[in-house]
Amino acid sequence: MPGAVVASQLADIALALLTSNFVSRGYVDDYFRAHRIKPKISLQANSISAVLKIVRRGEIATILPGAMEHEHRDLSYVPLDPAFPIRTVALLRRKHAYRTVASTAFCMLLKDMLSEGELSGLESFAAKS
């Protein structure tokens, strides 16, 4: 992958990461373990905005979900090799249960946003209703 950071290189890069209270941090730690990486964690913060503020000042990097790329276009995004695992989300509801107007509208809005690319970076695996 051209321009990618190879997983082993992460051990030499100063990182600002979210604290372990975040689910995303668990995925990052799993990635480190899977690739036998001892990360150089220079800073941990309990807010994404704090991490991004520090990264914007330079000389430190972070690992955040790919969807962040579309929200913070002022930052440079570098792919990892091997790629970070794709996270899957699902909207679950009981089969044949009553659906309120609000829940039906929410489902339609979500499907429309996914199909129109408004939630870039998320894949849609829509089941038949």
CA distance 129 to 117: 21
The pLDDT value given to residue 74: 84
Helices (H), the chain: 23-34, 48-56, 101-115
Q: What is the pLDDT of residues 18-36, one digit of tens each?
A: 999 998 899 999 999 999 9
DSSP state of 63: -
Sequence ranges of the domains in the chain: 5-81, 88-129
Q: What is the mean pLDDT of the chain?
A: 84
pLDDT tens, residue by residue, 32-90: 999 999 999 999 999 989 999 999 998 899 998 777 777 787 888 888 999 888 777 67
Q: Tens of pLDDT along 77-120?
A: 888 999 888 777 678 888 999 999 999 999 888 888 777 766 65
Nearest in space to 61 (alpha carbons), one of 6, 8, 14 = 14
65 near 72, Cβ under 8 Å? no
- The pLDDT of residue 129 is 44
Which CATH number describes the domain made up of 5-81? 3.40.190.290
How far apart CA 38 and CA 45 sit, in angstroms, is 19
What pLDDT was estimated at residue 2? 60
Distance between CA atoms of residues 92 and 118, nearest Å: 21
Bridge-based pairing state of the strands 40-45 and 5-6:
unpaired
| pLDDT at 121 > cutoff 80 | no
